Amino acid sequence: MLSIRAVDLVVIGGGPAGMAAALAAAEAGVEEIVLLERQESLGGILPQCIHNGFGLRYFKEELTGPEYAHRFMLELEKHSGIKVKTATMVVQVTADRQVVTTSAAEGLVCYQARAVILAMGCRERPRGAINIPGTRPAGIYTAGSLQYLMNIEGFLPGRTAVILGSGDIGLIMARRLTLEGIRVKAVLELMPYSNGLNRNVVQCLEDFNIPLYLSHTVTAIHGQKRVEKVSVAPVDAELKPLLEKEFDLTCDTLVLSVGLIPENELSLQAGVELDPATGGPVVDSYYHTTVEGIFACGNVAHVHDLVDDVSTESAIAGRAAAAYLRGEIKGNRWLPVKAGRNIRSVVPQRLVAGQTTPLYIRARFPERNALLHVGRGRVKRRIVSPGETIYYTVKPEDIDESAGYIGVSLEGGEGDD
Amino acid sequence: MSTPEVDVLVVGAGVVGAALIRELSRYELKLLLVEKEVDVSFGTSKANSGIVHSGIHDQTGTLKAQLCVRGCQLFPELAAELGFLYKQNGAVVVARSREELVKLEKLAENGRANGVKGLSLLSREELRRLEPNLSAELAGGLLAPSGGIVVPFDLVFALTENAVANGAKLLVGTEVLGIKEEKDGFLVRTNRQPIRAKVIVNAAGLYGGEVAAMIGDHSIQLYARKGEEYLFDRKLEGLVRRTVFPLPSAISKGILVIPTVDGNIMIGPTAHRVDNDDDLGTSLAGWNEIYTEARKLVPALQPADLITAFAGLRAVGTTGDFLIAPSHVSPRFINAAGIESPGLTAAPAIAEYIVELIKDSGLKLRRKREFNPIRSVVRLRDLNPREQAALMQKDPAYGQIICRCEMVSAGEIRDAIRRGATTLDGVKLRTRSGMGRCQGGFCTPKIIRLLSDELGLPPERISKNGPGSELLFGRLREDQEETAKEEKQHA
């Protein structure tokens, strides 16, 4: 039989979210923490993000991904109560907080935790999920796996590339490929606007004269053994390709940066309710999910623009787990957030009464000079874009408890042209 | 290089060649299976729908009907012996209207005449009770409980591995280029060494016509009929439990909704003639056709749950039936051509049938006493926790998970490479690593490493599915410079 190890807190995932959560929980007095990571080392996606731009909000200085991760690793080492288990895969999580893991070092192990923090991050949408027609040759990579192959493994993956999708990883990889002498012929974006941060469009494409084709998509992949070319077409307002305007781009590599999906297979096993708008668990102001004693933070909860926000949010979850273990945060009254005009998602989805809660809001479409309504709160937003998080901190006075919910909407904006 | 001399040479390691070589390995024979691709099952069999057909569809009296029903009967025992992924989940053919109910009854009659057991007609209500997620519009169904599902490439791997364990030889990457008839056999020219064979079986799939033509037999006329398939996430497991067929058309069994053994839902295939033997692309038109038809059967299917698509080419003959017979040029050259659907189901029966033809050709077949019908592989996710724990204790490599979506360990990937995988696709098809919802996003770099280490090849030589499909172009500049610097320091 499997031996069962009892612990206070299990944190699943040793990326920025899991590291910050474990650290905050330890600092808040949790004595026994197990931090589980499937890779050979901590850091999650950060070690492969060798570009800078990290830490501006959290550390007030600019760091690379590995540097950012290193700061947390050093802090973790100071806490003897945190047991880090790398190269360890979680295969099961139950609603009563049993966590089953496997590793070469220890085989199958089952932890019985008093609290669990889910911090598994996200994965990239693959080609099949967007159903690009054509052949299935070598040379089709998602941007993140390409980044791993280049920055961790040191491989040259191709010579000429086309990138589909202008999310941040796609933009960063356009620059990275160019710096390695790989010719990036184009970055294609289905939407009429980039899904990445504006600073990345400027620094990764414009500075290198890489053309960005908005409202374009790949309509076919060609090549039997290796990618030989892709067909590209503009799309109409319904995002349907205009095939009469199709043209070909020769390349040996197609890079896909077409979205990130929070990895919630384990959350579902545990019976955690997901929000269809984020793909992540429904959480309250404490990042407590709908299953008691299970918390979620970082990209598993919702995809973030900046790792800094992941760290901030995960520290809240870590402290909340500590409070939960002391019996402090049971049975809080909460109000649901209700997304109104031009709001795709809001995290947390449930606001605990009387709390000050930072919100992460995402818009559906770009607009200018809109008024953001959050309960009774009002604030003007000059530029709104689905690619950039809208921040708002809810204060107790914004909440009208008699309404039964907190409405969030963008009102009176002007269309983006 | 010496010229190997064999009793039987089987050309083509698809499901027909694989089933045959395994059947022949029961006998005291020198056997050789050659395959032009770098791995077995890399042609038509790889992209098969994976259905074990009950035999209701094929016209009574045809070889297809006879061998399909027999093949279907052979599957349960074969699966028990070889441990490939198979499940007798049953099939339902559905009628969309009252008029179609009449056709359904005819189909049932045809099935009974073919010897299919256990058929029953279902009312609208019975059908809904059996499969609650089927469209409420459907008028009724025909249940064929003997129908099943199988992972087609897993079947091919299992058959060839068991044949090799029983003494057969397998040469991949070996293309037959010419055949010369000699006094008591054939001299076969390949891209590698020449081979002497007393009997040749042509199981070359799409290339059956070309191989037959090498001995001057121009009777085999084949064309390629493409089938596209679309695969959905495993989270839909249980949406339908039986394979769902519409009523068949003149050329195909229609667009189906197929639960796979691994728990995915698959929809397809199309059936369109193509002129190009390597046209394996999927298309927007194909998707639209399949999705429209599949939704008429199961309305809940959503494009957001798609994880991948693929296409395969069926080798279709001109007679409407399988072409399995000795060539008119030589009784020792046996064609197994035009093996379209239900070829996968029929394969074990085709193998038995060809063994009889080989006996007729004059070759003496003596049963091998030490024949071992059992083949076993480790599949971590099919074990219970206690078995998993014991396995990991014995060999820690089974505890190191490489493919997180499908829970495949380093130990299983190593086993797959030792079982014959030399490419990323070879590992993927043997273990399911990279077949899940992330489609290899996380595990590909790790599998490249494992292949490189196990095969002793540099990573840039590792390919997706053979020469020309290498994944990497070498090392990055700065990486090269660093290596050079290190070397200089050492010197």
The pLDDT tens digits of the residues spanning B154-196 come to 999 999 999 999 999 999 999 999 999 998 899 999 999 999 9
B441 touching A, CB under 8 A?
yes
Confidence of residue A330 (pLDDT cuts 50, 70, 90): confident
Query: Tell me, what's the pLDDT at B436?
Result: 85
Mean pLDDT for B342-346 is 98
Query: Tell me, what's the pLDDT at B50?
Result: 97
C-alpha to C-alpha distances, A410 to A31, A343, A389, B94, B285, nearest whole angstrom: 44, 7, 13, 50, 40
Cα B332–B337–B339 angle (5° rounding)?
140
B451 touching A, CB under 8 A?
no
Among the partner residues B385, B396, B469, nearest to A104 by beta-carbon distance: B396
Chain B 405-424, CB below 8 Å of chain A: which residues?
Answer: 407, 409-410
Domain CATH for A167: 3.50.50.60
pLDDT at residue B434 above 50? yes
Mean pLDDT for A233-245 is 96
Q: What residues pair up with B278 in beta bridges, in sequence order?
A: none
Residues A114 and A158 placed together within one structural domain of the fold: no
Among the partner residues A87, A152, A158, nearest to B400 by beta-carbon distance: A87
Structure tokens at A168: 């941040």
Query: Tell me, what's the pLDDT at A38?
Result: 95
Residues A10 and A109 placed together within one structural domain of the fold: yes
Residues A349 and A407 placed together within one structural domain of the fold: yes
Q: B358 φ, ψ to 5°?
A: -65, -40
* Contact state of B439 with A127 under an 8 Å Cβ cutoff: yes
Q: Which residue has the tokens 């209701």?
A: B56
Catalytic residues of B: 53
Residues A182 and A284 placed together within one structural domain of the fold: no
pLDDT at residue A417 above 80? no
At A76-109, the pLDDT tens digits run 999 999 999 999 999 999 999 999 999 999 999 9
Q: Where are the beta strands (DSSP E) in B330-475?
A: 333-337, 401-403, 408-409
Mutate which: A103, A131, A219, A253, vs B, most B CBs within 10 A: A131
Q: Between A168 and A95, name the one with better pLDDT.
A: A95
CB B150 within 8 A of CB B347: no
Mean pLDDT for A386-394 is 94
Residues A157 and A200 placed together within one structural domain of the fold: yes
Mean pLDDT for B220-239 is 95
Q: Which residue has the tokens 């040191």?
A: A154
Nearest alpha carbon to residue B302 among B160, B471, B133, B97: B133
Confidence of residue A416 (pLDDT cuts 50, 70, 90): low
Confidence of residue B491 (pLDDT cuts 50, 70, 90): low
Mean pLDDT for A241-253 is 97
Q: Which residue has the tokens 């109910």?
A: B101
Q: For B417, what's the count of Cα atoms within 13 Å in the CB-facing half-sphere? A: 21
Cα A13–A14–A20 angle (5° rounding)?
105
Residues A212 and A250 placed together within one structural domain of the fold: yes
Last residue of a domain, one of A281, A297, A332: A332
B130 touching A, CB under 8 A?
no
Residue of B nearest to A158 (CA): B473
> In chain A, how many domains are there?
3
Q: Give the β-pairing of B31-34 and B169-171.
A: parallel
Residue of B nearest to A40 (CA): B400
Nearest CA to CA, how far is B464 from chain A (Å)?
6
Confidence of residue A331 (pLDDT cuts 50, 70, 90): confident
Q: What residues pair up with A164 in beta bridges, in sequence order?
A: A188, A256
Residues A191 and A253 placed together within one structural domain of the fold: yes
Residues A299 and A313 placed together within one structural domain of the fold: yes
Query: Tell me, what's the pLDDT at A181?
Result: 94
Mean pLDDT for B400-407 is 92
* Average pLDDT of chain B, as a whole number: 95
* Contact state of B282 with A134 under an 8 Å Cβ cutoff: yes
pLDDT at residue B312 above 70? yes
pLDDT at residue A303 above 50? yes
Residues A106 and A161 placed together within one structural domain of the fold: no
What lies within 8 Å, CB to CB, of A201 at 6+ separation is A166, A171, A194, A212
Nearest CA to CA, how far is A371 from chain B (Å)?
33
Last residue of a domain, one of A208, A240, A258: A258
Mean pLDDT for B433-452 is 91
Query: Tell me, what's the pLDDT at A73?
Result: 98
Among the partner residues B284, B407, B473, nearest to A158 by beta-carbon distance: B473
Last residue of a domain, one of A332, A350, A376: A332
A103 touching B, CB under 8 A?
yes
A3 touching B, CB under 8 A?
no
* Contact state of B410 with A104 under an 8 Å Cβ cutoff: yes
* Average pLDDT of chain A, as a whole number: 95
A383 touching B, CB under 8 A?
no
Mean pLDDT for A179-187 is 96
Residue of B nearest to A259 (CA): B438
Q: What percent of chain B has pLDDT over 70?
A: 98
Q: What percent of chain B has pLDDT over 90?
A: 89
Mutate which: A124, A136, A263, vs B, most B CBs within 10 A: A136
B471: chain A residues, CB-CB within 8 Å? 138-139, 157
Residue of A nearest to B406 (CA): A91
Q: For B429, what's the count of Cα atoms within 13 Å in the CB-facing half-sphere? A: 27
Confidence of residue A387 (pLDDT cuts 50, 70, 90): confident
Q: Going from the N-terminus, what domains does chain B have, and what CATH number goes with each? A: 1-86+150-222+317-376 (3.50.50.60), 87-149+229-310 (3.30.9.10), 380-477 (1.10.10.1100)
CB B147 within 8 A of CB B72: yes
Residue of A nearest to B407 (CA): A91
Residues A109 and A138 placed together within one structural domain of the fold: no
Task: Compute and round to an integer the Cα radius of gyration of chain A.
Answer: 22
pLDDT at residue B479 above 70? no
Q: Angle between the B343-360 and B15-24 helix axes, to the nearest 10 degrees? A: 40
Residues A9 and A86 placed together within one structural domain of the fold: yes
Residues A321 and A365 placed together within one structural domain of the fold: no
CB B423 within 8 A of CB B464: yes
Q: What range defines the domain where residue A381 resides?
A: 337-415
Among the partner residues B389, B400, B445, nearest to A148 by beta-carbon distance: B445
Nearest CA to CA, how far is B292 from chain A (Å)?
15
C-alpha to C-alpha distances, B372 to A119, A184, A220, B157, B165, nearest whole angstrom: 49, 56, 48, 16, 8
Asked if the ipTM is above 0.90, the reply is yes
